[in-house]
Amino acid sequence: MTVTLADVAARARVSPATVSRVLNGNYPVAASTRDRVLRAVDDLDYVLNGPASSLAAATSDLVGILVNDIADPFFGIMAGAAQSEIGGPGDGSGRAGGEKLAVVCNTGGSPARELTYLTLLQRQRAAAVVLTGGALEDPVHQAAISAKLARLADAGTRIVFCGRPPLPGGGAVAASLAFDNRGGGRRLTEHLVSLGHRRIGYVAGPRERTTTRHRLEGHREAMRAAGLYGEGNGSTAHPDLERLTVHGPYDRRSGYEATLELLRRDPGVTAIVAANDTVALGAGAAVRGQGLRIPQDVSVAGFDDLPFSVDAVPALTTVRLPLFEAGARAGRLAMGKETPPPGGIATIAAELMVRDSTAPPRTG
């Protein structure tokens, strides 16, 4: 049926072993022999049998990239960047070595699917796995993930976190690139406070996610530092702070509805901070829907600085995360092309981008 190594060997009048060695380039082969083999490969249009190869060599060239939501550019940008570092040398025809199959797997934010994908990847004996985005904080799930990653790791799979905080135990993970969500959140709210805002509504992401919590903690740090809403710490916030916080998924609809809710709870809010830019878009729509102007009546801010944010009207004040750079670095780490940061953990800075959607509150 399909062409096998043996067929190529026969045509090139060498042994299968030699063909294998030519293809893998990991053993000296005389130039004339190599040419003969390569010609035979071309003539027969031979394609290596991946499973057989992986079985015999006990390794595969699959690299998995797990994302929470593939339709969200936040993940798309990171995944694309990672993939570009993994997918072999440039986009050349290169039948050369390092060719890996970088694939992205969409968990939809579901812990069960995350685990399923990890198992599938383990089954394929993946060479590396990159986990992107915030993690669920449920201890049961976290333990399951840890265990799974440990097994993957000692089967030789390299594990990299990208935009995801390190595991409590550390353990199996080769490298963690974590965004400074807390710092970014803090600086964003500081900016608002410094403009004169006091009543700031916060549209948070889904509960129990590290990203959500860190950004929210940064926000509250800034609020408290400004002497607003007294003491209290992460878990026990001042009641007014709780009242001005609404949780929801990371999508525009959630931003829209949460903002309406916020405006209802306290018609006096002068600023809305959203969990991310997509949510901020929905928030902005809700604000305008109430007949309020941005930023004159209500300031709106996002997080991530996705490409569309600069084109929003008015241009969105947000926190820039170097998604592309982080994804690319994660890809290199996964390939072993870059040495991990000291301690295996790197924190990636988040930069405040002040644009036109925030301004001082209306006096009076």
Phi, psi of 203 (to 5 degrees): -95, 100
Name residues whose C-beta falls within 8 Å of residue 148's C-beta, 6 or more positions apart in sequence. 115, 118, 119, 122
| Torsion angle (degrees, nearest 10) of CA 133, 137, 143, 148 | -20
Position among 15, 17, 26, 55 found at the interface with a copy of itself (CB under 8 A):
55
Which partner in DNA, a copy of itself, none is near 21 (CB below 5 to 8 A by kind)? DNA
Report if residue 291 touches a copy of itself, rule: CB under 8 A: no
The three-state secondary structure class of 30 is coil
Segment lying near a copy of itself (by CB under 8 A), choices 8-16, 80-88, 214-222, 238-246: 80-88
Give the contact letters, 263-282, x = binds to DNA (CB under 7 A), - = no: --------------------
Which partner in a copy of itself, DNA, none is near 5 (CB below 5 to 8 A by kind)? DNA
Q: Are 149 and 119 in contact (CB under 8 A)?
A: no
Record the tokens describing residue 359, joined without a space: 């301004």
Position among 124, 189, 212, 276 found at the interface with a copy of itself (CB under 8 A):
124
Instruction: Work out the number of other CB atoms within 10 angstroms of the CB of residue 181.
Output: 26
What is the spatial distance between Cα 60 and Cα 79, in angstroms, rounded to a whole number?
A: 20
Segment lying near a copy of itself (by CB under 8 A), choices 117-125, 199-207, 261-269, 328-336: 117-125
Q: What is the DSSP string of 59-88?
A: ---EEEEEES-TTSHHHHHHHHHHHHHHSS
Report if residue 77 touches DNA, rule: CB under 7 A: no
In the window 311-350, what residues touch a copy of itself (CB under 8 A)? 311-313
Phi, psi of 254 (to 5 degrees): -60, -40
Give the contact letters, 45-64, x = binds to DNA (CB under 7 A), - = no: -x-xx--xx-xxxx------
In the window 3-22, what residues touch DNA (CB under 7 A)? 4-6, 13-18, 20-21
Position among 153, 174, 285, 352 found at the interface with a copy of itself (CB under 8 A):
285
Q: Parallel, antiparallel, or unpaired for β 62-67 and 351-353?
A: unpaired
Name residues whose C-beta falls within 8 Å of residue 89's C-beta, 6 or more positions apart in sequence. 96, 98
Does an H or E element contain 64, and which?
strand 62-67
The three-state secondary structure class of 5 is helix
Distance in Å, CB of 60 to DNA, minimum: 11
Residues that bind DNA (CB under 7 A): 1-2, 4-6, 13-18, 20-21, 23-24, 26-30, 32-33, 46, 48-49, 52-53, 55-58
Q: Which residues bind a copy of itself (CB under 8 A)?
A: 2, 45, 47-55, 60-62, 64, 69-73, 75-77, 79-80, 83-84, 87-88, 91-94, 99, 101-106, 108, 110, 112-113, 115-117, 119-125, 151, 155, 251-252, 278, 281-282, 284-285, 288, 307-308, 310-313
